[in-house]
């Protein structure tokens, strides 16, 4: 199992104003092309856009797509299109724009309620340490997928019923527009890799 850092995230020091959704997808595509066989891509939250874009780019290298409380966007949609219709999301009111408008961060006071409601204090501290600004340009990008490439790959959605970032209503609306081959339900917040890692691992291994 690999968890590559996207450009400008984690240990990758790329300036946030130099990254784009295209560079995110290219990073994932480059990693999966080193595998000996088609891979299962798991995308969390914004990562749903990234794995869709990577799969569209290299469909032959992907065996399955797994969307974990993630944005499952139709061709031509943006994050804003989904967020605007998600009355249950607390993200819009917690976003803070940089003075130049190039990046966005989340108000630290809102982090626990928004992303980590059922997580331990230790995990929340780790998450806060690891979080950084997000590229506004990347978040404004439009999804581009085709039935013959992305559309031919089996997909699974792992829904999180206590999610306050991507509400369960929004998750299910996305699945209604783009049905998945299988749906797994977890009674967790937006971050089950912290709050229920063993359960999440079992679900992923079963796939």
Give the model confidence (pLDDT) of 20-33 as tens digits: 999 999 999 999 99
pLDDT in tens, 161-194: 999 999 999 999 999 999 999 999 999 999 999 9
Alpha-helical runs (H) found in 38-120: 47-57, 79-84, 91-94, 111-115
- The three-point CA angle 159-152-175 to 5° equals 25
Confidence of residue 11 (pLDDT cuts 50, 70, 90): confident
Structure tokens at 89: 């999301």
Per the CB < 8 A criterion, the answer to whether 21 and 141 are in contact is yes
pLDDT for the residue numbered 129: 87
CATH T-level topology, domain 16-206: Rossmann fold (3.40.50)
């Amino acid at each position: 199992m690999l968890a590559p850092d996207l450009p400008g995230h984690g240990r990758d020091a790329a300036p946030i104003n130099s990254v784009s959704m295209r560079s995110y997808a290219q990073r994932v595509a480059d990693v999966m092309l080193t595998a000996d066989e088609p891979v299962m891509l798991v995308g969390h939250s914004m990562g749903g856009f990234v794995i869709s874009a990577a799969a569209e780019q290299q469909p032959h290298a992907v065996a399955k797509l797994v969307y974990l409380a993630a944005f499952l966007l139709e061709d031509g949609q943006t994050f804003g299109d989904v967020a605007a219709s998600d009355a249950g999301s607390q993200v819009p009111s917690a976003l803070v724009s940089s003075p130049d408008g190039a990046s966005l961060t989340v108000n630290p006071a809102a982090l626990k309620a928004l992303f980590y409601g059922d997580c331990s204090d230790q995990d929340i501290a780790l998450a806060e340490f690891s979080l950084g600004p997000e590229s506004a340009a990347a978040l404004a990008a439009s999804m581009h997928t085709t039935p013959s490439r992305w559309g031919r790959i089996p997909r699974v959605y792992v829904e999180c019923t206590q999610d306050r970032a991507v509400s369960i209503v929004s998750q299910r609306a996305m699945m209604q527009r783009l049905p998945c081959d299988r749906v797994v339900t977890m009674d967790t917040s937006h971050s089950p890799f912290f709050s229920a890692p063993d359960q999440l691992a079992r679900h992923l291994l079963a796939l």
